């Protein structure tokens, strides 16, 4: 037996911390030092570019609020939530921390996050310029667990240089899944590069496809799909693989496990990758080729204004009022918005978004903004925030898809195994 402790066990241990600390913190105003100064701990994930921008925006806050300084910690995405769970369980959680929809329900259900509803209601947290569906995507069981810190949606990124070289048409928003696969077959035959990454293990793609079938990833506290739905999804992509539209299983595996900087569309191993639209700048840094981006195939109303990530406040923080004010500043101050740009997605505040859009010079950022602007009128309603256990639901989809991709199981067998694992992940009996 090793000494390793799972993130879930660490998070479970963290429950006691906010319960013990939250009572004292809730009784009064923020507790500053003897000199009235406050040092606020802030934790986020991201690359060095995000770190530099965030630190600059926090310095702007300090310039306007000299009694507030920051203890800043950041790291790459990998291992971030293990570290956050460790800090929380160890009684040393950050006052303000970045989180996404993979984990927000889990942290909220364990009473780690502060309910921001009272701050929203009295105006200390201003969401009046946010799209309503966007800020509501931070609600968990009627409590506002996090402030949406950017709008994003799914994006099919393609290698425009490759297509132009062989005089091939670009994919378009609104093409059906079957049309996309047929297009990818043509690319594979003509350019000798697989036309599309196989997204059968991508929860983003599966989720959009489900919504186009009138279903959803979750339905209340249960899965919103059946083994028959998953079988149909896996069969769709088995057909694509059999036609040569995708790379072989070993290369698909690379696309499944790698980070954004090594997606197949930039390593030259596929003409398209299935990502989030705001990741265009990071992709572009890793290729000399020109890239384009459109919506996922099918009816674009299945996509929605997703909160790319949130800032949440620790419920037991001694400086919770200050932490909320900092989050409010970063989201709503135009000067801070210009600093942060679109690194975390399009700014949630629509006025700030316009300021940022007008000031952007990066062509890849302009593409992200343009595709989002094109799709906003077509978006459907946002789904509920994913259930606790969602991160496991995602990883189990990759595992099941790969069983089918490698031919170790039939699509039906892999689908049955996936539904069983996904039900277990969310505690569905």
Q: Read off the pLDDT of residues 154-173 as tens digits, 9 standing for 90 and up.
A: 999 999 999 999 999 999 99
What residues contact residue 314 under an 8 Å CB cut-off, 6+ apart?
Answer: 18, 88, 93, 94, 95, 96, 97, 112, 113, 114, 320, 323
Cβ(148)–Cβ(174) below 8 Å = no
The pLDDT tens digits of the residues spanning 214-241 come to 999 999 999 999 999 999 999 999 999 9
- % of the chain beyond a pLDDT of 70: 92
Q: Which of 166, 372, 175, 200 has the alpha carbon at shortest distance from 289?
A: 166
The CATH code of domain 154-303+389-426 reads 3.40.190.10
Give the residue extent of every domain in the chain.
Answer: 7-151+306-373, 154-303+389-426
What residues contact residue 32 under an 8 Å CB cut-off, 6+ apart?
Answer: 38, 67, 319
CATH for 7-151+306-373 (3.90.190.20, 3.40.50.9100, 3.40.33.10, 3.40.190.10): 3.40.190.10
* CA 354 – CA 370 distance, rounded (Å): 12
The pLDDT tens digits of the residues spanning 49-88 come to 899 999 999 999 999 999 999 999 999 888 999 999 999 9
In a 13 Å sphere around the CA of 77, the CA atoms on its Cβ side amount to 13
State the alpha helices, DSSP H only, in 3-131.
Answer: 7-14, 16-25, 48-64, 80-89, 104-109, 117-122
Cβ(149)–Cβ(345) below 8 Å = yes
State the alpha helices, DSSP H only, in 258-389.
Answer: 264-267, 280-284, 320-332, 334-340, 350-359, 363-375
From the number of C-beta atoms within 10 Å of its C-beta (0-12, 13-18, 19+), residue 360 rates as middle
Q: Which of 15, 30, 23 has the alpha carbon at shortest distance from 316?
A: 23
* CA 398 – CA 402 distance, rounded (Å): 6
The pLDDT tens digits of the residues spanning 362-414 come to 888 888 888 888 888 899 988 989 999 998 999 999 999 999 999 999 999 99
Q: Does 7-151+306-373 match 154-303+389-426 in CATH topology?
A: yes
């Amino acid at each position: 037996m090793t000494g390793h402790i799972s993130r879930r066990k660490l998070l479970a241990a963290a429950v006691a911390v906010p319960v013990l600390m939250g009572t004292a913190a809730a009784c009064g105003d923020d507790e500053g030092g003897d000199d009235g100064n406050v040092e606020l701990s802030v934790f986020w994930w991201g690359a060095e570019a995000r770190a530099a921008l965030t630190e600059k925006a926090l310095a702007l806050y300090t310039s306007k609020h000299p009694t507030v300084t920051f203890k800043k910690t950041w790291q790459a995405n990998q291992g971030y939530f293990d570290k956050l769970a460790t800090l929380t369980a160890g009684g040393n959680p950050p006052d303000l921390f970045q989180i996404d929809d993979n984990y927000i329900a889990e942290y909220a259900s364990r009473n780690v996050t502060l309910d921001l509803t009272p701050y929203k209601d009295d105006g200390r947290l201003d969401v009046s310029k946010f799209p309503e569906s966007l800020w509501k995507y931070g609600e968990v069981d009627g409590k506002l667990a996090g402030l949406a810190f950017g709008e994003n949606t799914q994006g099919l990124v393609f290698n425009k240089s490759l297509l132009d070289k062989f005089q091939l048409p670009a994919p378009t928003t609104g093409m059906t899944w079957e049309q996309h696969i047929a297009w990818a077959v043509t690319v594979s035959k003509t350019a000798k590069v697989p036309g599309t990454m196989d997204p059968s293990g991508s929860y983003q793609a599966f989720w959009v496809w489900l919504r186009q079938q009138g279903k959803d990833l979750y339905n209340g506290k249960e899965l919103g799909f059946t083994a028959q739905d998953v079988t149909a999804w896996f069969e769709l992509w088995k057909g694509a693989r059999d036609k040569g539209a995708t790379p072989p299983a070993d290369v698909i595996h690379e696309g499944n496990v790698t980070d954004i900087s090594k997606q197949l569309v930039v390593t030259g191993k596929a003409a398209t990758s299935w990502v989030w639209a705001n990741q265009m700048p990071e992709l572009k840094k890793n290729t000399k080729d020109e890239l384009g981006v459109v919506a996922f195939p099918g009816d674009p109303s299945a996509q929605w204004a997703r909160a790319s990530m949130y800032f949440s406040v620790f419920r037991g923080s001694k400086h919770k009022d200050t932490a909320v004010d900092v989050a409010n500043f970063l989201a709503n101050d135009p000067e801070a918005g210009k600093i942060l740009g679109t690194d975390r997605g399009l700014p949630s505040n629509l006025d700030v978004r316009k300021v940022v859009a007008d000031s952007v010079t990066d062509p890849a950022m302009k593409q992200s903004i343009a595709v989002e602007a094109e799709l906003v009128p077509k978006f459907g309603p946002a789904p509920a925030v994913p259930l606790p256990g969602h991160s496991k639901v995602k990883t189990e989809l990759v595992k099941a898809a790969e069983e089918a991709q490698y031919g170790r199981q039939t699509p039906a067998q892999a689908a049955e195994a996936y539904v069983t694992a996904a039900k277990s992940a969310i505690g569905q009996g």
